[in-house]
Amino acid sequence: MNKRSILAIGLLCALPLLVGGCASNLGGSDYSRTEARRVMTVRFATVESVRMVRLEGTKSPVGSLAGAVAGGVIGSSLGGRGPTSSAVGAVIGAVAGGVGGSALEEAATRKQGVEVTVQLDQGGYLAIVQEDEGEGFQPGERVRLVGSGEATRVTR
């Protein structure tokens, strides 16, 4: 095995670590930096239903690019002898690696979520989806809805 193949395999092994660092938390106790020191509205409600959902993973260029680079290097080294075979192998490897890297990134950053449907004290219903952090909300439970603008979270 040559140095390029070893480098490509190393990149493929490091890809989940690189991609996992891109994931953001979407739970009820997670706040972005821009939400700090901001006034938020608090509403009270009663949980009507809880449903487990899946939050799709990150779809950034990181997974595709890393997979394409690694696939290109591996494809080039496996493509055969001669510049034409090597180039064809690199192109095929880069395309396959890009597709695989994108799928790996999405799968590595996918999270379990929860959809909480609540009845507001003022009337009306809302459904809020957030990352499942093991809160175990139950129908009939009193909760707080904390939010500003478009982002709202369910808390106790």
pLDDT in tens, 108-118: 777 889 999 99
Please state the pTM of the whole predicted model.
0.59
Q: Please tell me the predicted confidence (pLDDT) of residue 4.
A: 53
To which residue do tokens 């449907």 refer? 117
Residue, of 7 and 53, whose pLDDT is higher: 53
* pLDDT for residue 138: 97
Predicted confidence at residue 19, as pLDDT, reads 46
Write out the DSSP string of 72-98: HHHHHHHS-SSHHHHHHHHHHHHHHHH
Average pLDDT over residues 68-87: 74
The residues that bridge with 46 in the sheet, in sequence order, are 119, 142
* Burial class for 149, CB neighbours closer than 10 Å (0-12, 13-18, 19+): exposed
Q: Tell me what the mean pLDDT of segment 39-57 comes to.
A: 92
Q: Where are the domains of the chain?
A: 3-155
CA dihedral of 5, 6, 7, 12, whole degrees rounded to 10: 90
Instruction: Describe the strand order of the beta sheet including 142-148 as a list of residue ranges.
Output: 125-131, 111-120, 41-55, 142-148, 151-155
Helix axis angle, 83-109 to 3-20, nearest 10°? 20
Q: Output the CA–CA distances (angstroms, integers) from residue 83 to 42, 48, 76, 89, in the order listed.
A: 65, 65, 9, 10
Q: Which one is predicted more confidently, 140 or 84?
A: 140
Contact predicate 118/125, CB 8 Å: yes
Contacts of 24 (CB under 8 A, 6+ apart): 30, 58
